[in-house]
Amino acid sequence: MTKPTAERRPLQSMTGYALATRDTPAGQLAVELRSVNSRFLDLSLRMPDELRIAEPPLRELIGGAVQRGKLECRVALRAATGADAPAAVDRAALERLAALDATVRAALPDAAPLSVGEVLRWPGVIAEQASAESLVPAILEAANEALADFVATRAREGRRLAELILERAARIDEIALQVAARAPELLAAHEDRLVERLRGALERLTAGSDQASPTAIPHDETMARVRQEVTLHGMRIDVDEEIGRLRAHVAELRRILAGPGPVGKRMDFLLQEFNREANTIGSKAAALEMTNASIDLKLLVEQIREQTQNIE
């Protein structure tokens, strides 16, 4: 199997499971992989001490295919017993011993026949247990098979997560467009209400004052200043820039998800920007409609964050 690389593999989830087995002279080998979320690659290998010789190549193999996740790799060996015991007899050695026995009997017909116990104790008849070194290729072969299934499982889950995220991103873009369309109308209505409140306050303030006072500011000039302040206030609560940046973030999110993995860390940073724009829109809200839009945006961003926490 060609070893997967970070450059070629698709977006992946950080949760996955796979199991592969191999039959060997020493018994059945099993390599099991399972992972959950983690900010970095946290790889732990659990195996019998006599098989620790396989740990360095295993770490290299897994590290080349996985970038993030708390991953546990278990290697187990179930020794051959019971019905598998005859496999421990070296038939070639047994045949050689039989040939020697025939030669001896031809020369010494009265020689006592070999007992089963004597045959089994004869050097080489019982095959030596497979050494740990001889099991390394089988361990890596099983690990390769398990890793291929593991990566494929994580990729399938990654595609599903990407679909969920893109659905929410589309909703964010939709809200941004709605706010952009309604913002001028809402802002104008807000300014009109503000002007009327200020006009009413000024009228009440000047109702009992001396209109002939030399320090009195003419009504038209006062209203002009009021409108100027209202316009400045409108500029401060304008959300056009935030909407533009929000839509740019949506486009970037789509671009990231369309590319190869791993993307989780880039998504984490991008979501901080999403949240910043949503908070700013809320702080500038000139109407209940915009406040509600800000709340909806923050909820969607949080939902995306929850999904992103499981993406490599």
User: Model confidence over 24-46: pLDDT tens digits?
Assistant: 888 899 999 999 998 888 999 99
Note the pLDDT of residue 181: 80
Q: String of b and e for 155-182 (b: at least 16 CB within 10 Å)?
A: bebbeebbeebbebbebbbebbeebbee
What pLDDT band is residue 85 in, cutting at 50, 70 and 90?
A: very low
Pairing of β 41-46 and β 27-36: unpaired
Note the pLDDT of residue 218: 58
Mean pLDDT of 185-213: 61
Note the pLDDT of residue 235: 44
Burial of 265 (0-12, 13-18, 19+ CB in 10 A): middle
Higher pLDDT, 199 or 6: 199
Cβ 175 vs Cβ 296: under 8 Å: yes
Pairing of β 27-36 and β 69-79: antiparallel
Note the pLDDT of residue 96: 85
Residue 232 has pLDDT above 60, yes or no: no
Nearest residue to 264 (alpha-carbon basis) of 91, 35, 11, 48:
11
Mean pLDDT of 133-150: 93
Residue 240 has pLDDT above 90, yes or no: no
Nearest residue to 183 (alpha-carbon basis) of 281, 60, 303, 37:
281
Q: What is the C-alpha separation between 145 and 163, in angstroms, rounded?
A: 28
Residue 130 has pLDDT above 90, yes or no: no
Note the pLDDT of residue 30: 95
Note the pLDDT of residue 129: 57
Residue 73 has pLDDT above 80, yes or no: yes
